[in-house]
Amino acid sequence: MAPLLLQLAVLGAALAAAALVLKRDPAFTYEVIVVDDGSKDQTSKVAFKYCQKYGSDKVRVITLVKNRGKGGAIRMGIFSSRGEKILMADADGATKFPDVEKLEKGLNDLQPWPNQMAIACGSRAHLEKESIAQRSYFRTLLMYGFHFLVWFLCVKGIRDTQCGFKLFTREAASRTFSSLHVERWAFDVELLYIAQFFKIPIAEIAVNWTEIEGSKLVPFWSWLQMGKDLLFIRLRYLTGAWRLEQTRKMN
């Protein structure tokens, strides 16, 4: 039961940290959207407490009746957002929220934005040597295998596609998430594949990251599934089963 309690605790801590950073400038307007992807724990209950504390205009909670997968849940949050810039962040607090300032600077450095579109991706690539020292040879092999498949099949030039800390302009979020098909763990790869297809500029920004107990996937089966998803993504686009076209903007 400890990992579950920890997850709920870090959710509360993450919400508190987000509110603390975002309300530093009284003139800055923001909203925090928590998407509960059909969980069986008390995620929505914890989030609603912060909704009551800060107000429903600042913190909103979306509770999905059925689990849709991480990609599907985030897409729901993206389409419910109202901001000019949209941050995607994991609720486990592995990435420290103050690093959003690094992403914002990286996003601004990409200007001028073509059609107001740009993306800043948080990256843990600078921590790779340290993580390899702590991993087994088998897990290291899986990691390198996955990185190779990402590069070979889908996304070039991005060392860490899977970090759950990404900042989008509203127009970039609309273009990429409107075209997204994958709703499970490999959705980040398709998202960046779509962004590169539309020539949306992408900055990869080093961020602080801490491994959170109870937040990891089972290594072998998760990497196997993601590998299958990468092949699936590539084949779908190559055969024309999935097509990328100009899409509507979010209201």
What span, in angstroms and rounded, lies between the C-alpha atoms of 206 and 125?
7
Handedness of CA 232, 118, 216, 80 (dihedral sign): negative
Q: Helix, strand, coil proportions of the chain in percent (round to 5)?
A: 50, 15, 35
Strands 59-63 and 119-123: unpaired
Of residues 202 and 51, more confidently modeled? 202
CATH classification at residue 165: 3.90.550.10
Percent of the chain with pLDDT over 90: 52
pLDDT of res. 133: 46
Q: Distances in Å between the alpha carbon of 33 and those of 78, 162, 202? A: 9, 21, 24
What is the rounded average pLDDT of the residues 37-49? 87
Nearest to 91 by CA among 106, 70, 65, 116: 70
What is the rounded average pLDDT of the residues 233-247? 90
What confidence category does residue 7 fall into, taking pLDDT thresholds of 50, 70 and 90? very low
Instruction: Establish if 247 belongs to a structural domain.
Output: no
What is the rounded average pLDDT of the residues 173-190? 94
3-class DSSP assignment, residue 122:
strand
Instruction: Establish if 32 belongs to a structural domain.
Output: yes
Handedness of CA 63, 67, 70, 75 (dihedral sign): negative
Across the chain, mean pLDDT equals: 85
* Measured CA angle at 167 (ends 67, 170), to 5 deg: 85
Instruction: Establish if 170 belongs to a structural domain.
Output: yes
Instruction: Establish if 183 belongs to a structural domain.
Output: yes
Domain count, the chain: 1
pLDDT of res. 43: 84
What is the rounded average pLDDT of the residues 137-162? 88
Instruction: Establish if 249 belongs to a structural domain.
Output: no
Q: Distances in Å between the alpha carbon of 30 and those of 22, 87, 106, 244? A: 7, 11, 19, 31
pLDDT of res. 202: 98
Instruction: Establish if 246 belongs to a structural domain.
Output: no
What confidence category does residue 142 fall into, taking pLDDT thresholds of 50, 70 and 90? confident
Copy the structure tokens of residue 92: 């486990």
Q: Domain residues for 42?
A: 4-239
Q: What is the pTM of this model?
A: 0.88
Instruction: Establish if 250 belongs to a structural domain.
Output: no
The answer, yes or no, to whether residue 174 has pLDDT greater than 80, is yes
Phi first, then psi: give them for residue 142, nearest 5 degrees: -60, -40
What span, in angstroms and rounded, lies between the C-alpha atoms of 66 and 216?
21
1-5, 15-19, 22-26, 101-105: segment of lowest average pLDDT? 1-5
pLDDT of res. 179: 96
pLDDT of res. 158: 96
Instruction: Establish if 16 belongs to a structural domain.
Output: yes
pLDDT of res. 231: 94
